[in-house]
């Protein structure tokens, strides 16, 4: 397999695939690196028990037959440098891939907002629960509550119901008026309005409560019930599983390691210009990593990055109006489903914030006055490398985020074999 390409793309989700298509059409060689076993990213995840669905199968065939694209599924990028190069690990060993240019399209992950009981077995991220169900984890007959904010809750409910789960309720924290204004604005994006209509059968059968939130997950050994607060009224709902979705945050670790300028926001994103160019020469970013805005915006950004990387600036610039149209959709979601303050006040002193190192909010608060929170509590020092807890803390205790932010710029980007970091190729597994 070649190891040098005209353009490297990190991420085979909507943005990365859109960029790959344009680069391949322009006759460029592309190294398309993705952590997942199948293309499409989190958005395009296929049910595994069926054959890949039509879009997935088409994608795979297209990737396999499109001249110029070398697809690296199941490859996790553990380090990178701005030359540019990506150091990857897979079950087949470790490789170092280089390119003339690099397009970063690593997508986003779910924001975890700790609340009492969130570490009980049976509590999941809504998107993670949806992905598990798609990959064959049985949910048939399980009683599920989905709570948090945004359209992802409805999409998760749709999948889970399809897989035979009993969805007891969707608990949406946004106010009824906010949700109504979001829906009223949908006709601006007819495709989204249609997609929403597709969810209506799900929506119509499930209690959808607005202005409400899950204040606590209850149970001894595992989740047994949730405590729901709605306009000051509290009730206990017995259930088997809870899926929480508080929104998405960009995966900026590779960009930070390269030295790209990020936004100075609680959950940083990569700064790009109108051509998706980052602050570093030859390095572009597209999709959720430049700010949460949905699949259509990601695809357009990917296409712009692809055109920009081949120097076709008129085509890249021509997409600007379309991008603005879809960027407004992302803004509408972010605005109407913005998290409200009561959700940030749920965690108690004994609520665990960092699961890797077992650090509670109380320990964090008492260390704050005495020294470096990170050094004293070891917050963010575990194998998740702070992805979960530092993002959570940016919501719960905004002041601490800046103290801990520098971690992202260091290698490895994910836990990596020491042999890989020493530059030794991993042995090929026995056939």
Partner 1 sequence: MNPHLIVIGGGIVGAALAATAAESEFGVTLIESALPSMGATGAGMGHLVVLDDALLALSARSLELWREIQDRAGTGYRNTGTIWIAETEADLPGLRQQSLDLAACAVASRLLDHRELHALEPELAHDLPGGLLVPGDATVYAPKAVAHLLDRARRAGGRLLLGQTVATLTEGGIRLAGGERLAGLVVVATGASVPRLLPELPITPRKGHLVVTERAATTIHHQLVEAGYLKGVHGTDEASVAMNVQPRPGGQLLIGSSRESGNCDPGVSDPLVARMLMRAFRFLPSLRERRAIRIWTGFRPATPDGLPYIGQVPGRPGVWAALGHEGLGITTALGTAELLVDLLRNRPTRLDPAPFDPARALFAS
Binding site for partner 1 (CB under 8 A): 79, 81, 370-372, 375-376, 381-383, 385, 407, 410-412, 415-419, 421-424
Burial of 315 (0-12, 13-18, 19+ CB in 10 A): middle
The distance of closest approach from Cβ of residue 415 to partner 1 in the complex, given in angstroms and rounded to an integer, is: 4
The residue assigned the tokens 């049910």 is 47
CB 116 within 8 A of CB 217: yes
Is the CB of 68 or the CB of 419 nearer to partner 1? 419
Cα gap 224→244, rounded to integer Å: 15
The distance of closest approach from Cβ of residue 82 to partner 1 in the complex, given in angstroms and rounded to an integer, is: 12
The distance of closest approach from Cβ of residue 8 to partner 1 in the complex, given in angstroms and rounded to an integer, is: 18
Is the CB of 120 or the CB of 409 nearer to partner 1? 409
Cα gap 379→26, rounded to integer Å: 47
Is the CB of 315 or the CB of 417 nearer to partner 1? 417
The values of phi and psi at residue 180, to 5°, are -60, -45
Is the CB of 236 or the CB of 375 nearer to partner 1? 375
The distance of closest approach from Cβ of residue 72 to partner 1 in the complex, given in angstroms and rounded to an integer, is: 20
Cα gap 362→358, rounded to integer Å: 12
Cα gap 192→70, rounded to integer Å: 32
Cα gap 126→172, rounded to integer Å: 12
Is the CB of 185 or the CB of 405 nearer to partner 1? 405
What tokens does 43 get? 């958005």
Hey, what's the torsion of the CAs at 297, 298, 302, 308, to 10 degrees? 50
The distance of closest approach from Cβ of residue 379 to partner 1 in the complex, given in angstroms and rounded to an integer, is: 12
The residue assigned the tokens 């890249």 is 316
| Residue 62 CB partners (closer than 8 Å, separation 6+) | none
Is the CB of 96 or the CB of 317 nearer to partner 1? 96
Cα gap 29→162, rounded to integer Å: 40
Cα gap 431→140, rounded to integer Å: 36
Is the CB of 311 or the CB of 423 nearer to partner 1? 423
Is the CB of 127 or the CB of 382 nearer to partner 1? 382
Cα four-point dihedral sign 193, 198, 199, 203: positive
What tokens does 300 get? 């357009």
The distance of closest approach from Cβ of residue 385 to partner 1 in the complex, given in angstroms and rounded to an integer, is: 6
The distance of closest approach from Cβ of residue 363 to partner 1 in the complex, given in angstroms and rounded to an integer, is: 12
Strand partners, 216: 227
The residue assigned the tokens 């076993």 is 37
The distance of closest approach from Cβ of residue 259 to partner 1 in the complex, given in angstroms and rounded to an integer, is: 9
Is the CB of 248 or the CB of 416 nearer to partner 1? 416
The distance of closest approach from Cβ of residue 427 to partner 1 in the complex, given in angstroms and rounded to an integer, is: 9
Cα gap 167→205, rounded to integer Å: 9
């Amino acid at each position: 397999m070649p190891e040098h390409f005209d353009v490297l793309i990190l991420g085979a989700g909507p943005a990365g695939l859109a960029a790959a298509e344009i680069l391949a059409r322009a006759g460029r060689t592309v190294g398309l690196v993705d952590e997942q076993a199948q293309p499409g990213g989190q958005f395009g995840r296929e049910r595994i028990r069926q054959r890949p669905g039509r879009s997935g199968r088409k994608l795979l065939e297209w990737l396999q037959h499109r001249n110029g694209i070398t697809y690296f599924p199941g490859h996790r990028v553990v380090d990178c440098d701005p030359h540019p190069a990506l150091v990857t690990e897979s079950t087949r060993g470790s490789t170092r891939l280089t390119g003339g240019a690099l397009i970063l399209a690593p997508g986003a992950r779910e924001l975890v907002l700790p609340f009492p009981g969130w570490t009980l077995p049976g509590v999941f991220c809504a998107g993670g629960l949806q992905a598990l169900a798609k990959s064959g984890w049985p949910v048939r007959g399980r009683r599920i509550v989905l709570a948090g904010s945004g359209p992802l809750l409805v999409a998760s409910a749709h999948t889970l119901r399809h897989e035979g789960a009993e969805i007891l309720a969707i608990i949406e924290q946004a106010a009824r008026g906010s949700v109504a204004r979001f829906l009223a604005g949908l006709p601006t994006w007819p495709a989204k309005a249609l997609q929403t209509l597709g969810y209506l059968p799900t929506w119509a059968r499930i209690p959808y409560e607005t202005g409400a939130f899950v204040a606590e997950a209850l149970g001894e050994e595992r989740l047994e019930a949730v405590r729901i607060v709605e306009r000051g009224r509290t009730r206990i709902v017995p259930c088997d599983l809870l899926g929480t979705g508080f929104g998405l945050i960009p995966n900026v670790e590779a960009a930070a390691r390269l030295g790209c300028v990020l936004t100075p926001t609680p959950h940083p994103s990569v700064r790009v210009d109108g051509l998706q160019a980052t602050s570093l020469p030859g390095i572009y970013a597209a999709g959720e990593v430049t700010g949460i805005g949905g699949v259509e915006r990601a695809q357009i950004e990917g296409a712009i990055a692809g055109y920009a990387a081949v120097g076709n600036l008129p085509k890249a610039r021509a997409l600007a109006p379309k991008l603005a149209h879809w960027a407004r959709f992302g803004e509408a979601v972010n605005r109407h489903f913005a998290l409200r303050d009561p959700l940030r006040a749920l965690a108690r002193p004994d609520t665990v914030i960092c699961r890797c190192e077992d650090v509670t909010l109380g320990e964090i608060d008492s260390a704050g006055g005495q020294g470096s929170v990170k050094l004293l509590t070891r917050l963010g020092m575990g194998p998740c490398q702070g992805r979960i807890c530092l993002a959570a803390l940016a919501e719960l205790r905004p002041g601490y985020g800046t103290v801990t932010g520098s971690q992202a710029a260091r290698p490895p980007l994910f836990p990596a074999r020491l042999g890989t970091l020493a530059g030794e190729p991993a042995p090929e597994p026995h056939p």
